[in-house]
Amino acid sequence: MGVPTRKELADEVDQIYSDHYDAIYRYVILSGSPVADADEIVQETFLRLLRFLATGRRIEKPRNWLLRVCHNVRLDNQRRDDRIPPATMEEVEGYSRHRPDTKPNPELALIAQERIEYVRDAMAQLSARQCEFLLLRAEGMKLREIAETYGITVQSVAESCARAIAKLGTLIHD
């Protein structure tokens, strides 16, 4: 397969962008990047997609590829900045405000918010790696793909996820 035309490339990137932007942005925010950096990280991820596709190479699973690249961009930024602090509640709430209002009524909204805060508090008690693995799994990555991203064994990822889920279960149901 040859190098795609500009039109073909633009159409493919547009389709992938519209299909996966929300998942990638959500992953960046929930994995601890400040909202101020999230747009830059997502933009760099899609720029790398464009460059990759422009060479004529194909991507079998765009969502997984984007999550892996996004993870690498975040790591690059962390190395550059020494450490990106976790998102504050204010930043997470700011992200939530950008989403359309789907709350049926204030009472259900309050209950849902309490559940989110309860789960967020429980997630905060996990190790950074456990939290990261669960977020990647929630975005649809397979254990093998997470292992490849981190350069560790599938067994290590599976054990880490199992411990995290068990700890969350204990924290949430106590």
* pTM score: 0.57
Q: What is the pLDDT along the chain (174 residues), one digit of tens a residue?
A: 577 888 888 889 889 999 999 889 888 888 877 777 888 899 999 999 988 998 889 999 999 899 989 988 988 887 776 554 566 667 666 665 665 555 567 777 777 778 778 777 888 888 988 988 988 888 888 889 899 888 899 999 989 988 888 888 887 776
Domain ranges of the chain: 1-85, 101-174
166 Cβ partners below 8 Å, 6+ apart?
Answer: none
Out of 1.10.540.10, 1.20.1540.10, 3.90.1150.10, 1.10.10.10, select the CATH number for domain 101-174: 1.10.10.10
Residue 142 to residue 152: CA distance in whole angstroms: 13
Identify the CATH class of 1-85: mainly alpha
- Contact present, 161 and 130 (Cβ < 8 Å): yes
